[in-house]
Amino acid sequence: MTAKRSLLTGVHFLNGDIACAEGAVAAGCRFFAGYPITPATEIAEHLSERMPEFGGIYVQMEDEIASMAAVIGASYAGLKSMTATSGPGFSLMQENIGLAVMTETPCVIVDVMRGGPSTGQPTLPGQGDVMQARWGSHGDYEIIALSPASVQEMFTLTVEAFNLAEKYRVPTMLMGDEIVGHMWEKVLIPSAEDLKIVNRKKPKVSPKEYLPFKPDEDLVPPMACFGEGYRFHATGLTHNEHGYPQTQSAEVHFKLVHRLCDKIRKNADKIVKVEEVMLEDADVVVFAYGIVARSALSAVRKARAEGIKAGLLRPITLWPFPEKQVAKAAKHAKAIVVPEMNCGQMVGEVERRARTTPVDFLSKFGEEPHTPLEILEAIRRNN
């Protein structure tokens, strides 16, 4: 019998939450702090079993505020760290997501979205948290958020989320939904050697010369961890390159906040990923993400069979927003159809980049995502 603590490889039949948990383990995550919440609980349950097998930590905190704080603490102590939650818990995490942004903490936050606001629909899917991912904490900042559309992507994008979090020292969010979380599908897991894993940059200077918040050319500062002898200070206050508070200086604050945004904005071309299907000649472009993109793809194929030049633009990266890709697709399109499981969130971003191209928003939520036929009708209408 093989040791349970080996990484999964090969083909497996998993649900999305478990695939996400396995992705975390494969990415090198060795700390999970969380609080039970539907429909993300299975991630915690699975990691409570898997983490110790790899010498990692599973801790169930008293709430999601504490979970996010513990994740930041563990990351500063040197472990790749994550939490997983759904809307209500995501709201509680926003305070410390801001702290993670300000202290440039690599960490991953999984939000398996359900129907909101408030307690809403715990067991049903939604896409109502995508703007909260971007703007949920106070102040100006940038984060990275990814959108999985399958159980396979619950695995691969979890790995990718860790890589991005470590590379850019930024909280990175995986914005799943109840369907991709609970659905069972085939997942192909590459062997460890074939999996690209990124680890945070370590300082190359002596502790005496080390400035914890002095960025390299990529705008990301190398990161020492507690106990490594660097004896540095980090704070949620506005700080200089020493990490010392300097709350009264406009110059320090302006420079810091701009750098925190710029390290994502100026690297956006490297970060942003989209899936483009039959976009080259598309008259009608469907912009859809997450589980809705699965229906959209089916609708696009059906439209093509009818002779309509339809195409799919699926953002894998929700934030930073794939603005160039949307602008390019909009240029030659008659219309962009945007189905979302909310009252209209990403559609606003699409409209900003589509300029004069009409945007047709399809809102549906409460039980199931848009059917292919519903999207097909919108494609026909806009052709």
Partner 1 sequence: MAREILQHPLSSYLRTDMMPHIWCPGCGNGIVLNCFVHALDELKVDLNKLVVISGIGCIGRTAGYTNTDSFHTTHGRSIAFATGVKLANPELDIVIVSGDGDLFAIGGNHFIHAARRNIGIKVLCVNNFNYGMTGGQLGPTTPLDAVTTTSPYGNSEHPFNLVHLAAASGAIYVARWTTLHVRRLTQSIKKMMQKEGFCFIEVISPCPEVFGRRNKLKSGLDMMELFKKASVVESFSDPAKADITPDKIVVGEFVDIEKMSYEKLFHEKIAQINEREVEKVS
By CB under 8 A, is residue 3 in contact with partner 1?
yes
For the CB of residue 108, give the shortest distance to partner 1 in the complex, in Å.
14
Instruction: Decide: residue 6, CB within 10 A, 0-12 exposed, 13-18 middle, 19+ buried.
Output: exposed
Stretch that binds partner 1, among 121-129, 189-197, 242-250, 354-362 (CB under 8 A): 242-250
Q: Specify the pairing of strand 335-340 against strand 284-287.
A: parallel
Query: Measured between alpha carbons, how far is residue 21 from residues 82, 146, 235 in Å?
Result: 10, 16, 30
Stretch that binds partner 1, among 26-34, 155-163, 287-295, 298-306 (CB under 8 A): 26-34
**Cβ within 8 Å of residue 339, ≥6 positions away:** 286, 288, 292, 295, 296, 361, 362, 364, 369, 370, 374, 375, 378
The dihedral built from the CA positions of residue 28, 47, 165 and 294, taken in this order, carries a sign that is positive
Stretch that binds partner 1, among 15-23, 90-98, 173-181, 191-199 (CB under 8 A): 90-98
Mark residue 229 as left, alpha or beta (left: phi above 0; alpha: psi -120 to 50; beta: remaining): left
Looking at the Cβ atoms of 227 and 344, the one nearer to partner 1 is 227
Looking at the Cβ atoms of 70 and 174, the one nearer to partner 1 is 70
CA dihedral 59, 60, 64, 69 (to 10 degrees): -30
- The pair phi, psi for residue 270, each rounded to 5°, is -80, -25
Task: Considering only residues 41 through 60, tell me which ones interact with partner 1, judged by CB under 8 A.
Answer: 52-53, 55, 57, 59
Record the tokens describing residue 124, joined without a space: 């049903």
For the CB of residue 383, give the shortest distance to partner 1 in the complex, in Å.
51
Cα(314)–Cα(292) distance, rounded to whole angstroms?
A: 10
For the CB of residue 5, give the shortest distance to partner 1 in the complex, in Å.
6
Task: Considering only residues 254 through 273, tell me which ones interact with partner 1, judged by CB under 8 A.
Answer: none
Pick from 139, 227, 348, 358: which binds partner 1 (CB under 8 A)?
227
Pick from 28, 31, 114, 375: which binds partner 1 (CB under 8 A)?
31
Pick from 11, 196, 229, 269: which binds partner 1 (CB under 8 A)?
229
Q: Specify the pairing of strand 335-340 against strand 144-146.
A: unpaired
CB 146 within 8 A of CB 132: no
By CB under 8 A, is residue 233 in contact with partner 1?
yes
By CB under 8 A, is residue 213 in contact with partner 1?
no
Cα(205)–Cα(253) distance, rounded to whole angstroms?
A: 25
Looking at the Cβ atoms of 108 and 378, the one nearer to partner 1 is 108
Record the tokens describing residue 43, joined without a space: 């991630």
CB 59 within 8 A of CB 30: no
For the CB of residue 207, give the shortest distance to partner 1 in the complex, in Å.
9
By CB under 8 A, is residue 63 in contact with partner 1?
yes
Task: Considering only residues 92 through 111, tell me which ones interact with partner 1, judged by CB under 8 A.
Answer: 95-96, 98-99, 103
Looking at the Cβ atoms of 239 and 314, the one nearer to partner 1 is 239
By CB under 8 A, is residue 5 in contact with partner 1?
yes
Looking at the Cβ atoms of 148 and 243, the one nearer to partner 1 is 243
Task: Considering only residues 288 through 317, tell me which ones interact with partner 1, judged by CB under 8 A.
Answer: none
List contacts with partner 1 (CB under 8 A): 1-5, 30-31, 33, 52-53, 55, 57, 59, 61-63, 65-67, 69-79, 81, 95-96, 98-99, 103, 226-237, 242, 244-245
